[in-house]
């Protein structure tokens, strides 16, 4: 039975999620919630563990990974039986999510038949509706994925993800390969479909403009851990974690002159397996102290969000 979307409490509850590959941690001790209908953005530099986290949320971590901690969807573990029903993935590479040898409409009809047990006629009709909902005309139903543009393919993948009305959608950098205008339109379609169906969305992205426009809360990850987690407007308007501060400083704003060089956070994120023993950000942090080199900061509540940093005067930085 489908859980009541109005039921109190988070839709997704993540506690102490860790993912190791042959003993090398990729993600360590993540804890956060996703409320019904909420959009949570996972942000951070490449290698921060965002995509590994995204897949672990869906119970889709690679076979060679060791996953610990708990990920509960309305109190129950997510299993393969939930894929395409209660949870769905919108991947970066649309071609990996679509079969090259079947027309797009046929693939959608099959997805809804296998879950809902509809007749062929009703499944076909539902597939056409699902395509229309993402802006693909009925004529697109007979096309093969390779006949679509990148933007149209990503729309088809969104239609596929949404066709069985999942409660949770995880989108892993769903627009990276597209031009900026198309990126914006695709994220709008994804957001509209989630709003229309009441689904929660976990959006993995590098695009902090998209985060501000589309997310309710954000989790900033660094070296597989949470650096800062809270409401988007609080985190973006007044970042408290030094890492978030550095990340935002690298972005252009309306006041940035064209062609000017943007600052960058010095150094590189540590490779998995070479993460410093104290705070992982120590080598790149201009506020680092001796304590940072030896003691890992645990997330703590500061000004309406959680921040993993030892500094006790964060609010006055
Ligand atoms: S704990 Fe230390 S090194 Fe880490 S972010 Fe805070 S000040 Fe910087």
88-116 average pLDDT score: 94
Which ligand 1 atom is at minimum distance from the Cα of 289? 2
The whole-number pLDDT of residue 205 equals 93
CA-angle at 88, arms to 82 and 93, nearest 5° = 140
Domain limits, the chain: 12-101+144-316
Q: Using 50, 70 and 90 to split pLDDT, how confident is the model at 262? A: low
Right CATH for 12-101+144-316 from 2.40.10.10, 3.40.50.150, 3.40.50.10310, 3.40.50.300: 3.40.50.300
- SS3 track for the chain: CCCCCCCCCCCEEEEEEEEEECCEEEEEEEEEEECCCCEEEEECCCCCCHHHHHHHHCCCCCCCEEEEEEEEECCEECCHHHECCCEEEECCCHHHHCCCCCCHHHHHHHHHHHHHCCCHHHHHHHHHHHHHHCCCCHHHHHCCHHHCCHHHHHHHHHHHHHCCCCCEEEEECCCCCCCHHHHHHHHHHHHHHHHHHCCEEEEECCCHHHHHHHCCEEEEEECCEEEEEEEHHHHHHCCCCHHHHHHHHCCCCCCCCCCCCCCCCCCCCCCCCCCCCCCCCHHHCCCCCHHHHHCCCCCEEECCEEECCCCCCHHHC
The whole-number pLDDT of residue 7 equals 63
The predicted model scores a pTM of 0.93
Q: State what percent of residues in the chain have pLDDT above 90.
A: 82
What is the CB < 6 Å shell around ligand 1? 242-243, 279, 281-282, 285, 287-288, 292, 297, 309-311
**Ligand 1 geometric centre to CA of 279 (Å):** 6
Q: Nearest Cα to 28, choosing from 231, 221, 305, 269?
A: 221
The whole-number pLDDT of residue 252 equals 62
**Ligand 1 geometric centre to CA of 241 (Å):** 8
The whole-number pLDDT of residue 157 equals 97
The whole-number pLDDT of residue 258 equals 65
Which is more confidently placed, 89 or 2? 89
Q: Crossing angle, helix 104-116 and helix 150-162, to 10 degrees?
A: 10
pLDDT, tens digit (0-9, with 9 covering 90-100), for 9-56? 899 999 999 999 999 999 999 999 999 999 999 999 989 999 999 999
The whole-number pLDDT of residue 240 equals 95
Whether 273 shows a pLDDT value over 50: the answer reads yes
Q: State what percent of residues in the chain have pLDDT above 70.
A: 93
The whole-number pLDDT of residue 1 equals 42
pLDDT, tens digit (0-9, with 9 covering 90-100), for 49-64? 999 999 999 999 999 9
**Protein residue with its CA nearest to atom 4 in ligand 1:** 279
């Amino acid at each position: 039975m489908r859980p009541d979307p109005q039921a109190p409490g988070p839709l997704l509850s993540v506690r102490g999620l860790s993912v190791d590959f042959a003993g090398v941690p990729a993600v360590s001790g993540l804890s956060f919630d996703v409320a019904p209908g909420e959009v949570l953005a996972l942000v951070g530099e490449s290698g921060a563990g965002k995509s590994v986290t995204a897949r672990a949320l869906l119970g889709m971590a690679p076979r060679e990974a060791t996953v610990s901690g708990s990920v509960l969807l309305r109190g129950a573990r997510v299993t393969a039986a939930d894929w395409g029903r209660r949870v769905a993935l919108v991947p970066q590479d649309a071609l990996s999510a679509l079969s090259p040898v079947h027309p797009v409409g046929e693939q959608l009809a099959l997805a809804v038949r296998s879950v809902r047990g509809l007749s062929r006629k009703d499944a076909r009709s539902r597939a056409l509706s699902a395509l229309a909902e993402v802006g693909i005309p009925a004529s697109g139903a007979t096309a093969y994925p390779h006949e679509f543009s990148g933007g149209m393919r990503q729309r088809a993948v969104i239609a596929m993800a949404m066709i069985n009305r999942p409660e949770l959608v995880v989108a892993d950098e769903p627009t990276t390969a597209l031009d900026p205008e198309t990126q914006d339109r695709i994220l709008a379609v994804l957001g509209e479909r989630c709003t229309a169906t009441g689904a929660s969305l976990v959006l993995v992205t590098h695009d902090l403009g998209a985060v501000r426009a589309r997310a309710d809360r954000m989790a900033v990850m660094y070296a597989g851990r949470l650096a800062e987690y809270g409401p988007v407007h609080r985190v973006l308007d007044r970042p408290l974690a030094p890492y978030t501060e550095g990340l935002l400083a690298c972005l252009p704003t309306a006041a940035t002159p064209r062609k000017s060089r943007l600052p960058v956070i010095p150094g590189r994120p540590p490779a998995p397996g070479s993460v410093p023993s104290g705070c992982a950000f120590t080598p790149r942090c201009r506020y680092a102290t001796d304590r940072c080199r030896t003691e890992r900061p645990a997330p703590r509540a500061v000004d309406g969000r959680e921040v993993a940093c030892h500094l006790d005067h964060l609010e006055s930085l």
